[in-house]
Each structure stands twice: as structure tokens, then as C-alpha cells.
Amino acid sequence: MNPSSNLVFIGPTGAGKTSLGRRVAERFGLRFIDLDVLISELAGSSIAELFEHLGEAGFREHESRALAQALADDGVLVATGAGAVLAESNRELMTRRAFVVHLHVSVQAQIERLARDRSRPLLQRTDRDQVLASMAAQRDPLYRQLGQLCLDTDRFIPAEATAQLVLQLAAQWQQLTRPSPA
């Protein structure tokens, strides 16, 4: 297990990475970084504009640079975008510089949670169910491989999921980051 002072939240769209990340960061005194917000700030464009003008490959390059910048610091909690795990270099960086938390959500729960969401470029299609299932098939093995702790968020409201995460992180991650008694 990685004893880093950083946390990285990975998982599918709609798993709660941002909402839970803010709460957990506050609880542990970490600086919260929403990777999509950082990407937009560094690029001077929205995520949708980056996808439109550069395509997914161009967006992923921006994502990798922003992730490297975010994890150059200590004491941060980074909520990644769902596809940040696709690049091997990102996976290596996450495991080297952070304790990685996999927030899992089922495709059915994603469909329900994202029913009104129109902000995600990869979901601007009529076959959202199929797109989400395809993404899950490709990405879920990567999430499972990287996650040092996994929480299934399907059955929790945000406050309950936060409480579960805090308990599990206190038991696993904080034990790793505490100095050994002299």
C-alpha cells in the first residue's frame, strides 16, 4: 500500500468522486482538486470545448498534464475524471504519488444519477445506456487494479458514503501515513 499523503479518487462517471472528494478532503485537512476544473483552468477552455476542438486524444493530453501538476504537491485529494485511468502513465503516477480510492457505481445507478446531466461530452448521445456499459467494460478492470480501497456507492446517499469512506480511510490510509512510534 502506498503511504503517500495524497488521495486520488477514481471511478465511473456518477460514482461521487467530486462530491465525496470535497467532503473527505475537508475531513482529513487535504486540499481538494477537481481534475476537470484544473484542466479547464490550465487550458483556458471548458472540457466540452477541448473535446470539440481537440477530440478525446487531445483532451487526454491535457488531463495527463493536469494530473501531474496536481500530484506534484503533497496533502491533496484529487477527484479524477472517469477516463483518467486509461493512460498507463496516469495509472503509474497515481500509484506512485497517492493512495488510490476506487468509488464504484453500477451502470444502472449511473443511468439514474445522470438522467438530467447534459455536461459530459461522451454522454451527449441517445444511446447513453450502451455508452456507459461500454465504458464500464473497458475501465472497470483498471479501477479494480488501481484501487487500494474500494467503496460501492450504489446504496449510499453522499453523507453515508462519506462516513463509510472516512472510517475505511482512517483504518487503512491513515495507518500508513502516521509516523512510526520512536
Predicted confidence (pLDDT) at residue 121 exceeds the cutoff of 60 = no
Q: Is 15 marked within a binding site? A: yes
Domains of the chain in sequence order: 7-166 (3.40.50.300)
pLDDT of residue 155: 87
> Once rounded to an integer, what is the mean pLDDT over residues 126-136?
83
Instruction: Look up residue 98 and give its amino acid.
Output: A
| 139 carries a ligand binding annotation | yes
Has 29 been labeled as part of a binding site?
no
pLDDT more than 70, % of the chain: 87
Residue 19 annotated as lining a ligand binding site: yes
For residue 66, CA distances in Å to 16, 126, 137, 148, 165 come to: 20, 30, 26, 22, 25
Query: If you average pLDDT over residues 172-177, what whole number do you get?
Result: 73
Q: Can you give the pLDDT at residue 173?
A: 85
Q: What is the pLDDT of residues 6-23, one digit of tens each?
A: 999 999 988 999 999 999
What contacts 77, CB < 8 A, 6 or more positions away? 6, 7, 8, 9, 21, 24, 25, 28, 30, 31, 32, 33
Give the CA count within 13 Å in the CB-facing half-sphere of 47.
19
pTM of the model: 0.89
14 labeled binding residue: yes
* 36 is annotated as contributing to ligand binding: yes
Average pLDDT over residues 119-137: 75
Residue 165 pLDDT grade (very low, low, confident, very high; cuts 50, 70, 90): very high
